[in-house]
Structure 1
Amino acid sequence: MSPPFPLTLSLLFVILLAPLLLLAQSPSPPPSNSSSAACKAT
């Protein structure tokens, strides 16, 4: 029994997006630093 198409598509989506999300998060600074920088800027 093969899984329904939407399920396969969502699994593929997750597999493709997970590394992209991880890569997008790694270079960005922690929220505490960015928020303090925003406070200093204003």
Structure 2
Amino acid sequence: MLEGKKVIIIGDRDGIPAPAIEECVKTAGAEVVFASTECFV
């Protein structure tokens, strides 16, 4: 589905962190160019 796409990930500290999203996106075939977990308070 995401084969050959480049992805920027912004995770949420109290929700889904970036490393978890990153693993899912890599499994779908995308290349992660930036991943960060932020705190939105």
Class of the TM-score when normalised by the shorter of the 2 chains: 0.3 to 0.5
The normalised TM-score by structure 2 is 0.34
The normalised TM-score by structure 1 is 0.33
Select the structure that is richer in helix.
1
Query: Which protein has greater RCO, CA pairs closer than 8 Å, 6+ apart?
Result: 2
Select the structure that is richer in strand.
2
